[in-house]
Amino acid sequence: MIHLENVVKSFRSEAGETPVLQIPTFLVNAGERVALVGTSGSGKTTLLNLLSGLVRASSGQVQVDGRDLSQLSEGARDRFRAASVGYMFQSFHLLDGFSAVENVELGESFAGRKVHRGEAQALLESLELGHRVNYKPSELSIGQQARVALARALAGQPKLILADEPTGALDGETADTILELLLTRVKKEGATLVVATHDPGIAARFDRTVNLADINEVLAARAQASGAKS
Amino acid sequence: MKLHQLVGRNLRRRPLASVLTTLSVALGVALFSAIGSLRQASENAFQRSAGMSNLIVGAKGSPLELTLNSLYHMGVSSGNISYEAYREFRDTPGVQWCAPTVVGDAYRGFRIVGTTDEMFAVKVPDLGTPEFSAGEAWKHSPADLDAFHAEVVEHAAMDAAAHAEDEHDHADHDHDHGHDHTLEELADELGLFVAVVGATVAEETGLKVGSSFVPAHDVMTGGGAHEDAPTRVVGVLAPTGTPIDRAIYIPAGAFYAIAGHQAEQESAFGGTRDPHGVSAVLAYVTPSGGYHLRTRYAWNDRLDVQAAWPVMEVRKLFAVVGNIDAALRIIAALVVVVALVGVLVALSNTMAARQREFAVLRALGARRRTILALVVGESAAISLFGGILGLGLAAIGAWLAASRVRAETGVSLTAMPGLTDLWFLFAVTAVGALAGLVPAWRAYRTEAARALSSSL
C-alpha cells in the first residue's frame, strides 16, 4: 500500500534548505494499522503530509496505492487525496459554520462522487452521534467532535486513513474510546491506517509500531551532531 | 457538498458582514437602476401623452411652455390666440382632429378646461378615445361654440358702446346695456354649466355624476370662486394614464359666459390675451403628404401664433434632463464601485482568520482553484444578491415615484427594471467576482500543511 524509497523532504529557510525527513525505505501493507511514534519535531506530521500528497517530497519515491505521489502534479495529488485518503487531525479542525453531518459530507465532497446526506448521517449514527447530526461543532463535547472528525475521515470509504495525534486533545477515557472506534472501524472497512502519536501506550494497540528515530536519518544525524558537541 | 452550498454556508456564517455588504451593493444598484428606469419611464409616459396631439397652436412664446401648459396642465397659460385664428386653423387642410382650450379656472387644484365635445374624440395612444366610467359627454360642438362666441362678441360690442355712452353722459347708470339676457343666463338656458371630470379628479375630489361644484379663478392659486356658475358633473372619464385624468372639461361657451372672463379681463401673467380668444388648440394633423410639416411651418411663420410639436418638445425637455440623468448615473455607478470595494475589503479582512478553513478543505482534497472559486463565488454572490435586491428596491422606489408623478401630472409611469438593468446586474456580478479575486488569490496561496500545523 505504501512504499517510500530514498525520500528526502527539505524545507527552505533563511539558512537554506533544511532537511527534516530522510527515509531510505518505509513499507506499509494494505490493511495494516501502523503507529508512527517519535518525539515532537521528529517528522511524523511531515511524513503524514507526504503520504496524503499535501506536500511533495524533495526527492525519492512516495508510492501510495500504486501511485508515485512524488511524480504527480499538485492537482493530481489533490484528486488522489480526495478519493483515497481520509485525514483526522489532532484538534479535529471541524469547520465552525457547518453542522456535524455537513462536516462529514465535506470529507467526500471533493472526490467527484455524488454525496448522499443519508450516508453521512448513517456514519454518524454508527458512531452513536445520530442525535447530534445537526449540531454545530461548538455545540458538541470534545469527544463528540472527535467522533465527527473520525466520521469525516471514514466518509467515502478511503483506502488510506491518516491520523495525526487523534487522541492528543482528549482525556484518557475518551481517548481510549475514540482510539478503539478508529481501530475497529478501519479494520471493518479494510483500510490502511497510519497514526502519528507520541504515546507508546497507544502505539501498542496497533499492528505495528514504527519509530521515526529508526527510519529518519535526519534524526540520527542530529543525534550524532549533538553527541559530537557534548 | 457542492461549491454553491459552500458559498452559501460561508455567507451565512458571517451574517452581519454579508448583510451589510449586500445592502451596500443593493443601494448603489437601486440608485443606478431607479435613475435610469424612472427617466426612461417618464419619457415614455410623457411621449405617450404627447402622442394625443401632434400639433398645438397657441400664443407666441416658448413651445415647451405651450406644450406643458396645454397638454400637461402645468404652469400657466402665457396668452390667448384669437378665436378667428382657431377657426382658421380648424379649416386648415390635413387637420384631422382639433379641440380648442380656454383655461384660467380651477376646482380644488384641478384645472378646468373649456373646450368643445371634440375633446372626447381625442385618440390616446394604446387606448383610443377615452371611455366614460359613469355618465356621458356633454354636447358642445365647434358650431355650437361658434354660435355662442358670436353672442359673446355681440355682448362685448354692446357693452363697449353702452360704456362709451355712460362716459359721455358722465353718469354711472346701472342698466342692462340693452341685452335681452346676460351671457350667463344664455349659457344656463343652453345647459352649458356642465362638466366631465377626469378619473383622478373624481377620485380625489369625490365629484361624481350629479355632483355640483363652483369653479374658482386661477389654476395656480385657486382664487375667487365663480359663485354664479355652479356646474353639474354629467360624466366621469375612465383612467387613461394621461393628464386627461387630472382635468375638468366644461363647454368653452360656459367659460366665456362666466362673469369675470369678459372683455375687460386682462392677463394676470402678461402676454397677448384676447379675452374672447382661446388659450390653445390641440390638434392632430395627418402626418402623411407633408401636411403636418407644412402646417407647422406655416403657422409658425405667423406673427400672432406658434405651432408646437409636442413629441419634439418632450424630447428636447428630456434631452436636457438626460444630461442631469447621466451625471446622476455616473455618481450611482461610483456608489456601486465603492460598495464593491467594500465587499473586497470585507472579504480580505476575513482571509487571515480563514487560513485554517482553507487548509482543512485542501487536506480534504479541495484543489487550490476550488478555494479560489469559493472566495470569488462569495464575492460574486454578494454582488448578485445585492444587485437583485437593488433592482427590487429600485422597482419599489420607482413605483413610489410613479405615484407622485401621476399625482402631479396625471401621467402614469411603468418604471420596471428592463433589459439594461439585467445587463447592469450581470456587470455588477462580474465586477464583484473580479473584486473577489484579490482576497481569493490570498486564499489560493494558502499552504495547507503550514496552516494546519500553525493552527493546532
Lowest mean pLDDT, pick from A58-62, B143-147, B265-269:
B265-269
pLDDT at B168: 60
Give the residue with greater pLDDT, B224 vs A89. Answer: A89
Chain B residue with minimum CA distance to A103 = B1
Residue written as grid cell 486513513: A161
Q: Round to whole Å and give the CA distance between B181 and B190.
A: 13
pLDDT at B415: 63
Chain segment B31-42, per-residue pLDDT in tens: 888 888 777 777
pLDDT at residue B376 above 50? yes
Q: Look at B1 and A102 and tell me if their CB atoms are within 8 Å.
A: yes
Q: How far is CA A65 from CA A2, A3, A72, B304, in A?
A: 6, 9, 13, 101
pLDDT at residue A52 above 80? yes
Write out the H or E segment, with its range, that includes residue B99: strand B95-107
List all residues 6 or more positions away from B87 whose beta carbon is below 8 Å from its beta carbon.
B146
Q: Which residues of A148-169 are buried (b: 16+ CB within 10 A; e: fewer)?
A: bbbbbbbbbebbbbbbbbbbbb
Q: How far is CA B110 from CA B204, B228, B319, B415, in A?
A: 10, 19, 29, 25
CATH number, domain with residue A168: 3.40.50.300
Supply the mean pLDDT for chain A: 87
Q: pLDDT above 90 covers what percent of chain A?
A: 40
Chain segment A126-169, per-residue pLDDT in tens: 888 889 999 999 999 998 999 999 999 988 889 999 999 888 87
Is A139 among the domain residues?
A: yes
pLDDT at B441: 92
Q: Which residues of A172-193 are buried (b: 16+ CB within 10 A; e: fewer)?
A: eebbebbbebbbebbeebebbb
pLDDT at residue A224 above 80? no
Counting every residue, how long is chain B?
Answer: 456
ipTM above 0.95, yes or no: no
Q: What's at A23, amino acid-wise?
A: I
Chain segment B403-445, per-residue pLDDT in tens: 777 776 666 666 666 777 888 899 999 999 999 999 999 899 8
Query: Minimal CA–CA distance to B439: which of B365, B340, B361, B362?
Result: B340
Strand partners, B58: B280, B306
List all residues 6 or more positions away from B254 whose beta carbon is below 8 Å from its beta carbon.
B114, B187, B192, B193, B194, B229, B231
Give the residue with greater pLDDT, B331 vs B2. Answer: B331
Q: Is B15 on the interface with A (CB under 8 A)?
A: no
> Closest Cα of chain B to A230: distance in Å?
31
Our CA dihedral for B268, B270, B275, B279, rounded to 10 degrees, sits at: -100
Is A84 among the domain residues?
A: yes
pLDDT at B274: 65
Lowest mean pLDDT, pick from A24-38, A170-184, B382-396:
A170-184
The sign one gets for the Cα dihedral B51, B57, B58, B60 is positive
Q: pLDDT above 90 covers what percent of chain B?
A: 43
Q: Look at A82 and B364 and tell me if their CB atoms are within 8 Å.
A: yes
Residue A106, domain extent: 29-57+71-211
Q: What's at A84, amino acid-wise?
A: S
Residues of B in contact with A98 (CB under 8 A): 9
pLDDT at residue B316 above 70? yes
Chain A residue with minimum CA distance to B356 = A93
CB B26 within 8 A of CB B336: no
Q: Round to whole Å and give the CA distance between B251 and A207.
A: 109
Write out the H or E segment, with its range, that includes residue B438: helix B419-444
Is A230 among the domain residues?
A: no
Banded pLDDT at B265 (limits 50, 70, 90): very low
* CB neighbour class for B72 (10 Å; exposed up to 12, middle 13-18, buried from 19): buried
Banded pLDDT at B24 (limits 50, 70, 90): very high
Chain A residue with minimum CA distance to B357 = A95
Chain B residue with minimum CA distance to A162 = B363
Count the neighbouring beta carbons within 10 Å of the beta carbon of residue B444: 19
Is A138 among the domain residues?
A: yes
CB B242 within 8 A of CB B183: no
Give the residue with greater pLDDT, B22 vs B271. Answer: B22
Q: Round to whole Å and give the CA distance between B203 and B386.
A: 38
CB A167 within 8 A of CB A202: yes
Banded pLDDT at B135 (limits 50, 70, 90): very high
Residue in A46, A95, A109 nearest the CB of B357: A95
CB B195 within 8 A of CB B234: yes
Residues of B in contact with A85 (CB under 8 A): 365
Q: Round to whole Å and give the CA distance between B118 and B103.
A: 16
Q: What's at B254, amino acid-wise?
A: A
pLDDT at B239: 92
Is A204 among the domain residues?
A: yes
Residue written as grid cell 355682448: B155
Q: Round to whole Å and give the CA distance between B105 and B84.
A: 23
Residues of B in contact with A102 (CB under 8 A): 1, 9
Name the domain count of chain A.
Answer: 1
Chain A residue with minimum CA distance to B12 = A97
Lowest mean pLDDT, pick from A4-18, A85-99, B105-119, B163-177:
B163-177
- Mean pLDDT within A24-36: 92
Is A158 among the domain residues?
A: yes
Rounded to a whole number of angstroms, the distance between the first and last alpha carbons of chain B is: 25
Banded pLDDT at B25 (limits 50, 70, 90): very high
Q: Round to whole Å and give the CA distance between B281 and B77.
A: 12
pLDDT at A230: 58
pLDDT at B264: 45
CB B107 within 8 A of CB B215: yes
Supply the mean pLDDT for chain B: 85
Strand partners, B308: B56
pLDDT at B332: 86
Q: Look at B13 and A106 and tell me if their CB atoms are within 8 Å.
A: no
Query: Minimal CA–CA distance to B343: which of B101, B20, B38, B34?
Result: B20
Q: pLDDT above 70 covers what percent of chain A?
A: 98
pLDDT at B267: 45
3-state secondary structure B34-54: HHHHHHHHHHHHHHHHHCCCC
CB A149 within 8 A of CB A88: yes
> Closest Cα of chain A to B246: distance in Å?
58
Strand order across the A85-88 sheet? A85-88, A160-164, A192-197, A33-37, A208-211
Give the residue with greater pLDDT, B164 vs A105. Answer: A105
Q: Is B419 on the interface with A (CB under 8 A)?
A: no
CB A198 within 8 A of CB A211: no
Strand partners, B450: none
Is A223 among the domain residues?
A: no
Banded pLDDT at B324 (limits 50, 70, 90): confident
Q: Look at A82 and B366 and tell me if their CB atoms are within 8 Å.
A: yes
Q: Which three cell numbers stand for residue B418?
A: 428592463
CB B133 within 8 A of CB B196: no
Which residues of A lie inside 8 Å of B (Cβ-Cβ)? Answer: 45-46, 49, 52, 54-55, 74-75, 78-79, 81-83, 85, 87, 89-91, 93, 95-98, 102, 105-107, 109-111, 115, 152
Is A78 among the domain residues?
A: yes
Chain segment B118-129, per-residue pLDDT in tens: 999 999 988 899
pLDDT at residue B6 above 90? no
Q: Round to whole Å and give the CA distance between B110 and B102.
A: 14
Chain segment B45-94, per-residue pLDDT in tens: 788 888 899 999 999 989 999 999 999 888 887 788 999 999 999 999 99
Query: Minimal CA–CA distance to B252: which of B378, B97, B139?
Result: B139
Q: Is B273 on the interface with A (CB under 8 A)?
A: no
Chain segment B153-190, per-residue pLDDT in tens: 888 778 777 767 766 665 554 445 556 678 788 888 88
pLDDT at residue B322 above 80? no
